[in-house]
Chains A and B, each alone.
Chain A
Amino acid sequence: MLDRLAERLPQIVVAPSFLLILVFVYGFIIWTGYVSFTKSKMLPVYKLDGLRQYTRLFSMDRWDVAYSNLFVFASLFIIVAIIIGCLLAVLLDQHIRAEGALRTIYLYPMAISFIVTGTAWKWMLNPSLGLEAYFQSLGWESFSFNWIVDKDMSIYVVVIAAVWQASGFVMALFLSALRSVDQEIIKAAYLDGASNTRIYMGIILPSMRPVFLSAFVILSHLAIKSFDLVVALTGGGPGYASTLPANFMYEMTFRRNQIGIGAASAMMMLATVAAIMIPYLYSELRGKKNG
């Protein structure tokens, strides 16, 4: 009896966490899915109403903008943050004198609430208050940086701020992984005459696959959740040119008393995430087993 219990221990240990996730993630997704098929407005109601909320959702320009912004924003944000994070980690790994200080500088944006740093960014990026005015006053007349007030560019401003906020954490992840790479293999490679670049590209980075997975998951999570960023930086503007689906959903659910549409947009977001994540996770986790 005790033996069998001991054999089952791993499952028993995993069970509570798993159950919590089952209820609070999947249960709630089902709840949201159900509500998206109802007429819910001010408060959720449970009488089914067919696909009406989805047809309304798809006829809204605002949703089109938010949904396509998600792709632009998420892909740029994830790629740039990984590149910068990785670059900084590799450079910091070169026996840098002020490593501790630099690491903290790169990492701190994650620590400060964006409610306020958003204001600082907004000032800096505003052409008449911030960088543009500053450089022009220094005599660099042709300097121009007005993305934040440009309807077509404002989403990229959100990307810049998001990368600023998250890339330091990615750097920390990579750095801690770099330092747990097996030293013997690297030494052997050096003795074989391999160059620094080749060692990084050929041995170290590939051995860090799980960290890429972590970074990817974290960044996607931040991308999908990005909400404060838009609120603080552009307020979704100019017009609603830089809104993201999370902002759309919040606006619908809480501001416009359209819980049904809000739920429908949430389901669309989740479906999109699933369509991208499931194949990726599948290949990653399978690869792990074989390797």
Chain B
Amino acid sequence: MKSVLLSSAAALFALASTANAQPTAEVLHYWTSGGEAKAVQALKKDFEAKGGKWIDAPVAGGGGDAQAAVLRARVLSGDPPAAVQIKGVNIRDWAEAGALADLSAVANKYHWDDILPKQLQDIVKYEGHYVAVPVNVHRVDWIWANPKVLAKVDAKVPTTWEEFNQVAEKLKAAGIIPLAHGGQPWQDGTVFETVVLGIGGPDFYKKAFVDLDPEALNSDTMVKVFDEMRKIRGYVDPDFPGRDWNLATAMVMRGEAAMQIMGDWAKGEFLAAGKVPGKDFICASTPSDKGYILNSDSFAMFKVKGDDLVQGQQLLASLILGEKFQETFNLLKGSVPARMGMDQSKFDSCAVKSMNDMKETAKNGSLVGSMAHEIVQSGAVRGAILDVVTEHFNSDMSSKEAAKKLAENVALAQ
């Protein structure tokens, strides 16, 4: 630890005194195509404008599956990339393995403690030191609805789960698919966690997914959550298994289905098809008591040797949280800035709602990290939870049994 502190301090010193080594950073990420790739290009451009040399190492595949393998291979061969796109508790796990560099020097210089919301700080800090840089915030608990379809049955976007069920029954009776859904474990998990937040409330959510309290996991509330999941299963068309999330979004766009529960990346699909928020589609938070489920992408800095590499890391870290990059990047990606107090004028109505809700929920403690998107749990535990959720959703398992299994599986995975 000490040597890292020393070397990063030395690097900063070198940065200040016009370094002779060119700051270099190899960046391993899975934003490899479309708007996401453009967002990374913005970062590269800024980085090169500051004299940096960017080595691109893109590896896509199912939200970082392939990248996870590559990262381990690189670490084991003794040659980790400088900056790696990992998120949530994975950051803590890698820090625990002693693989991450300390960013305290940059963080202090640019006052990260003041510009980052506390919830994000918790994610990117390990034992009080910054080891990663957050890029953005995605909200997970959204309902994307087609207003024309809802109007057909004279309904509005539901604000409680009971209302949700009523609206869904009406839609179903009218021959419309109430909920567009793709049966992939992470999508099942996304719906599940919004239901947990809605029915159990933020405190229950934290007890279950952050503290992994066995009593909360196998509680009556959790049974209720699974009951609602069973109902939701009835609101989904029979061909949902394996469907990609964007095809589900297209069903809402075409009016075949009324709603989709998905994070705000779904907005990108609507916008790409030329749809206008508020008119062609509505973004509303899923029923909950003013909750907010946060998902945030970030770059972790791995321990590297050589002045040029360390300097590259520092430069990259400072750029990522710069106001300019935060704006360009998040406009391209459809998310909202990780940095607080940004100008909202360029963002659309859904993004503005997200920013305001985040501020408010952060204050009253109802802002929670996503489980399905690896913010509060990763690896084994998240996988164990998703196993039960998806098994329950795809079979006739009883809610009681599911809750019991949830507690067992989570205990086994720890």
Contacts and interface: CB of A to CB of B under 8 A. Distances in A.
Interface of A: 41-44, 56, 59-62, 122, 126-129, 146, 148-149, 151, 154, 231, 233-241, 250-251, 253-258
Interface stretch (B90-98, B222-230, B317-325): B90-98
A269 B179 CA distance: 40
Contacts of A240: 185, 387, 390-391
B412 A59 contact: yes
A256 B93 CA distance: 11
Given A126-B243, A253-B69, 7 more contacts: A42-B97, A60-B412, A61-B391, A149-B239, A238-B183, A255-B379, A258-B379
Nearest to B379: A257
5 contacts: A146-B239, A149-B238, A238-B241, A238-B394, A240-B387
Given A42-B97, A43-B97, A240-B387, A254 B240 contact: no
Contacts of B242: 122, 126, 148-149, 233-235, 237-238
Say what secondary structure dominates the interface of chain A: loop
Nearest to B383: A256
Nearest to B380: A256
A273 to B, nearest CB: 22
B381 to A, nearest CB: 8
A56 B383 contact: no
Interface string B56-89: 0000001001001100100110000000000000
Given A128-B237, A256-B380, A239 B72 contact: no
A237 B72 contact: no
A175 B29 CA distance: 46
A258 B387 contact: no
A42 B93 contact: yes
B186 to A, nearest CB: 9
B69 A239 contact: no
B393 interface: yes
Given A59-B412, A256-B379, A239 B76 contact: no
A241 B72 CA distance: 28
Contact of B185 (A41, A60, A237, A254): A237
A254 B412 contact: no
Contact of A151 (B68, B237, B395): B395
Contacts of B237: 128
B394 A241 contact: yes
Contacts of A238: 183, 241-242, 394
A43 to B, nearest CB: 6
A237 B390 CA distance: 9
Contacts of A254: 65, 68-69, 72
- The 9 A-B residue pairs whose C-beta atoms are closest, nearest first, are A257-B379, A239-B394, A238-B241, A254-B68, A149-B241, A238-B394, A128-B239, A256-B383, A256-B379
B375 to A, nearest CB: 16
B238 to A, nearest CB: 6
Contacts of A251: 383
B378 interface: yes
A42 B183 CA distance: 28
A62 B387 contact: yes
B361 interface: no
B221 interface: no
A154 B239 CA distance: 12
A234 B241 contact: yes
Contacts of A239: 185, 390-391, 393-395
Report the interface size class on chain B.
20 to 34
Contacts of A253: 69
Contacts of B380: 41, 256-258
Nearest to B72: A254
Contacts of B387: 61-62, 240
B165 interface: no
Contacts of B65: 250, 254-255
B240 A149 contact: yes
A154 B382 CA distance: 24
Contact of A237 (B62, B184, B379, B382): B184
Contacts of A236: 185
A237 B412 contact: no
B378 A257 contact: yes
Contacts of B240: 149
Nearest to B66: A254
B238 A127 contact: yes
A97 B87 CA distance: 59
A43 B97 CA distance: 8
B56 to A, nearest CB: 20
A140 B344 CA distance: 55
A227 B183 CA distance: 19
A233 to B, nearest CB: 8
A256 B387 CA distance: 12
A258 B414 CA distance: 10
B160 to A, nearest CB: 29
Nearest to B94: A42
Q: Which of B62, B238, B242, B387 has the most CB of A within 10 A?
A: B242
Nearest to A62: B387
A56 B241 contact: no
Nearest to B90: A257
A241 B390 CA distance: 10
B379 A151 contact: no
Contact of A42 (B69, B96, B412, B413): B96
A288 B394 CA distance: 50
Given A42-B97, A235-B184, A257-B380, A146 B394 contact: no
Given A122-B242, A149-B240, A235-B184, A255 B383 contact: yes
A237 B184 CA distance: 7
Contacts of B75: 43
A153 B362 CA distance: 46
Contacts of B183: 149, 237-238
Nearest to A130: B239
Given A42-B96, A43-B97, A257-B378, A126 B239 contact: yes
Interface in B21-59: none
A61 B387 CA distance: 9
Interface string B357-387: 0000000000000000000001110110001
